[in-house]
Amino acid sequence: MPTFTTSDGTEIYYTDWGTGKPVVLSHGWPLSSDAWAVESKLLADAGYRAIAHDRRGHGRSTNTDRGHDMDTYARDLAELIEHLDLTDLVVIGHSTGGGEVVRYAAQHGTGRVRKVVTAGAVPPIMVRSEANPEGTPIEAFDGIRAGVLADRSQFYKDLAVPFYGFNREGAAVSQGLIDDFQRQGMLAGLAAAYECVKVFSETDFTEDLKALDVPILLAHGSDDQIVPIAAAAEKSIGLVSDGTLKVYEGAPHGIAGEYQKALIADILAFIAD
206-222: per-residue pLDDT in tens?
999 999 999 999 999 99
pTM, entire model: 0.98
List the catalytic residue out of 53, 58, 220, 253.
253
Domain ranges of the chain: 3-271
pLDDT tens string 4-42? 999 999 999 999 999 999 999 999 999 999 999 999 999
List the catalytic residue out of 26, 95, 201, 236.
95
Instruction: Confirm whether 224 is a catalytic residue.
Output: yes
Does the structure show a pLDDT above 70 at 223? yes
Q: Secondary structure of the chain in the HEC alphabet?
A: CCEEECCCCCEEEEEEECCCCEEEEECCCCCCHHHHHHHHHHHHHCCCEEEEECCCCCCCCCCCCCCCCHHHHHHHHHHHHHHHCCCCEEEEEECHHHHHHHHHHHHCCCCCEEEEEEECCCCCCCECCCCCCCCECHHHHHHHHHHHHHHHHHHHHHHHHHHCCCCCCCCCCCHHHHHHHHHHHHHCCHHHHHHHHHHHHHCCCHHHHHHCCCCEEEEEECCCCCCCHHHCHHHHCCCCCCEEEEEECCCCCCCCHHHHHHHHHHHHHHHCC
- pLDDT for the residue numbered 1: 66
Instruction: Confirm whether 83 is a catalytic residue.
Output: no
- pLDDT for the residue numbered 193: 98
pLDDT tens string 140-169? 999 999 999 999 999 999 999 999 999 999
**Chain-wide mean pLDDT for the chain?**
98
Kindly state the percentage of the chain with pLDDT values over 90. 99
Pick the CATH number of 3-271 from 3.30.470.20, 3.20.20.60, 3.40.50.1820, 3.10.180.10: 3.40.50.1820
List the catalytic residue out of 34, 76, 208, 224.
224
- pLDDT for the residue numbered 273: 79
